[in-house]
């Protein structure tokens, strides 16, 4: 019997730039091992190598003391490694039992043995303490229960190692409790688990040991009993804080009238009592963990969700945008989190994307679009935002992530935008473009407009915001003036508090 059920030694991986540098990771049998690190520290990459989604450049993986080659997810499963994906991988139109046995149906006499599979699935669910009818359709289950079924699916396939990637992000408090109970059950059965989360309180509660990654290297390994929250945060942030994004204190007229006032906004049952205001020229940051409600709030302001209660005032006048068009007409802009899904029409050109919101206002004679003016606007955007492209007619999906994002922002600079809301605007953007985008946001705010800036990257929030609002589970849990925040650790600490 080996000391470790799973051992990763000297793992290296690079996507052009090195992402993992000589990483060792060791998992004991029957333990819950927390994997912690900031965005881009390499957690997900390491786990994707373990579960066969990516291949490693160097290093070795040992399962039960024996070296194994894991080339794809199938190899991983053969070795008893299962991953619980953030995006659920269940087929909603099929039953729970059908999903559990998907791809490995039990067959007798050439037909699916439905009765056996239903019974066996029922047993697995009961063992795990999941109260679900194996014959229920997955589409009828809550997100929380679906996640439990996903776990049952891995357990039914006799996974000895389970990887959880932010499992509680979309779960309610009660569902989280149930998940933890289940993790406890699995532990007793000798299943080993890797638990990735940004929620330190959860990690302190459920994990036995911890590995902390920073910039692709392991900076700390140990028992959870030997470390506290401050210690974890110190290791995560360390001394390598990105010096590229320096904060520049900006002058804001605090005595002036609010450009935006939101009072007691209720988005849904989870997200309520959201009140804040924004001054002319101010950049307000929204900080919080995944699932804290940041995106939902800006989507509500943008008319994409209907609010259940509360008031929104733009320059003192109450507004109630019921569609994105009404919000845009009022002067709102939203740079959405998912650039490819929501920000761009990938099969269209740079020009078509950049002029999409404004095209109905670009009229030369009668009803026709003024193409010359449109070309000029886009040419200007490209010059001013330093977009690297062969021309305005190039297909947008051929541009790099950073240049694509500049075009998404350009869409709204071309409009008479009063309030720009940016949801994770630098995700998947290289460092150079990141700095440019941050400058752009500052420049926009300097013209007396308002900015709401959402980011999971604390360095960025610290660099660009004048004030940071902290959200926790759909409520405002704190608010900090930027000049009162001395270190990133302070901010990280604040985010973890209820």
Partner 1 sequence: MQSNKSKKGIQWDKYMVYVIFVVVFVLFAVVLGDEGFLNPNNLINILRQTAMISIMAIAGTFVMAAGQIDLTVGSVTAMTAMIAALIIQSTDNIILAVAAGVGFGCAVGMINGLLVTRLKLPAFLATLGMMQIVRGAAMWITDTAAVPIGNAAFNKIFGIGSVAGIPVLILWTILFYIAGILLFNKTAFGRHTLATGGNEMSAIYSGIKTAKVKVIAFTMSGAFAAFAGIMYAGRMQAGRYSYGDGDEMSVIASVVLGGTSMAGGTGSVIGALFGSILMGMINNALILAGLSSAQQTMVKGAIIILAVAISNLTQRKKER
Binding site for partner 1 (CB under 8 A): 302, 304, 323-325, 327-329, 334, 336, 341-348, 352, 355-357, 359-360, 362-363, 367-369, 371, 395, 411
- The CB-of-368 to partner 1 minimum distance in angstroms stands at 4
Beta-strand runs (E) in 387-494: 419-423, 450-454, 467-472, 475-481
Torsion angle defined by CA atoms of residues 211, 215, 219 and 221, in that order, rounded to the nearest 10 degrees: 10
The values of phi and psi at residue 160, to 5°, are -95, -20
- The CB-of-411 to partner 1 minimum distance in angstroms stands at 7
Quick one: 191 or 327, whose CB is closer to partner 1? Answer: 327
Quick one: 236 or 344, whose CB is closer to partner 1? Answer: 344
CA distances from 104 to 40, 72, 117, 157, 186 (A): 35, 17, 10, 9, 22
Check if the beta carbon of residue 175 is closer than 8 Å to that of residue 153.
Answer: no
Quick one: 238 or 401, whose CB is closer to partner 1? Answer: 401
- The CB-of-161 to partner 1 minimum distance in angstroms stands at 35
Quick one: 68 or 342, whose CB is closer to partner 1? Answer: 342
Quick one: 71 or 322, whose CB is closer to partner 1? Answer: 322
Cα 348 to chain centroid distance, Å, stands at 26
Quick one: 337 or 460, whose CB is closer to partner 1? Answer: 337
Beta bridge partners of 476: 471
Quick one: 268 or 324, whose CB is closer to partner 1? Answer: 324
- The CB-of-403 to partner 1 minimum distance in angstroms stands at 17
β-pairing verdict for 58-63 and 66-68? antiparallel
Give the up-direction half-sphere exposure of residue 478: CA atoms within 13 A in the CB hemisphere: 19
- The CB-of-252 to partner 1 minimum distance in angstroms stands at 28
- The CB-of-322 to partner 1 minimum distance in angstroms stands at 11
Question: Token digits for 296?
Answer: 């939902």
Check if the beta carbon of residue 477 is closer than 8 Å to that of residue 271.
Answer: no
Quick one: 46 or 377, whose CB is closer to partner 1? Answer: 377
- The CB-of-181 to partner 1 minimum distance in angstroms stands at 37
Residues 379-389 as b or e (16 or more Cβ within 10 Å = b) = eebbeebebeb
Residue 290 burial (CB count, 10 A)? 15
Alpha helices in 53-101 (DSSP H): 73-78, 96-100
- The CB-of-190 to partner 1 minimum distance in angstroms stands at 44
């Amino acid at each position: 019997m080996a000391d470790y059920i799973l051992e990763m030694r000297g793992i290296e991986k690079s996507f052009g730039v090195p992402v993992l540098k000589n990483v060792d990771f060791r998992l004991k049998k029957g333990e819950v091992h927390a994997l912690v690190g900031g965005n881009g520290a390499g957690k997900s990459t390491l786990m994707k190598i373990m579960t066969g989604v990516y291949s490693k450049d160097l290093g070795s993986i040992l399962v039960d003391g024996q070296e194994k080659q894991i080339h794809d997810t199938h190899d991983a499963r053969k070795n008893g490694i299962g991953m619980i994906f953030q995006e659920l991988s269940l087929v909603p139109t099929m039953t729970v039992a059908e999903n559990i046995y998907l791809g490995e149906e039990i067959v007798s006499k050439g037909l699916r043995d439905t009765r056996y599979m239903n019974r066996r699935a029922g047993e697995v669910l009961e063992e795990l303490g999941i109260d679900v009818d194996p014959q229920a359709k997955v589409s009828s289950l809550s997100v929380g229960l679906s996640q439990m079924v996903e776990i049952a699916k891995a357990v039914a396939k006799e996974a000895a190692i389970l990887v959880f990637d932010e499992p509680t992000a979309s779960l309610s408090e009660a569902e989280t409790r149930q998940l933890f109970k289940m993790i406890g059950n699995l532990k007793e059965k000798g299943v080993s688990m890797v638990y990735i989360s940004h929620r330190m309180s959860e990690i302190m509660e459920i994990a036995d040991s911890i590995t902390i990654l920073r910039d692709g290297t392991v900076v700390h390994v140990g028992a959870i009993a030997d470390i506290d929250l401050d210690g974890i945060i110190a290791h995560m942030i360390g001394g390598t804080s990105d010096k590229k994004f320096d904060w520049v204190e900006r002058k804001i007229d605090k005595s002036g009238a609010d450009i935006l006032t939101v009072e007691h906004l209720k988005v849904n049952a989870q997200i309520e009592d959201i009140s804040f205001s924004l001054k002319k020229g101010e950049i307000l940051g929204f900080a919080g963990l995944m699932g804290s409600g940041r995106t939902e709030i800006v989507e509500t302001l943008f008319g994409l969700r209907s609010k259940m209660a509360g008031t929104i005032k733009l320059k003192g006048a109450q507004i109630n945008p019921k569609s994105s068009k009404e919000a845009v007409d009022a002067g709102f802009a939203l740079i959405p989190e998912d650039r490819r899904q929501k920000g761009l029409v990938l099969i269209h050109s740079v020009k078509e994307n950049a002029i999409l919101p404004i095209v109905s206002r670009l009229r030369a004679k009668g009803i026709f679009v003024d193409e010359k003016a449109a070309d000029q606007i886009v040419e200007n955007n490209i010059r001013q935002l330093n977009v690297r492209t062969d021309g305005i007619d190039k297909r947008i999906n051929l541009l790099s992530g950073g240049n694509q994002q500049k075009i998404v922002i350009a869409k709204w600079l071309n409009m008479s935008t009063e309030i720009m809301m940016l949801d994770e605007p630098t995700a998947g953007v290289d460092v150079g473009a990141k700095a440019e985008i941050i400058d752009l946001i500052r420049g926009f705010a300097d013209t007396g407009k308002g900015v709401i800036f959402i980011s999971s990257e604390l360095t960025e929030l610290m660099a660009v915001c004048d004030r940071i609002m902290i959200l926790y589970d759909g409520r405002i849990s704190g608010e900090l003036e930027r000049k009162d925040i001395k270190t990133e650790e302070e901010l990280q600490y604040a985010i973890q508090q209820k």
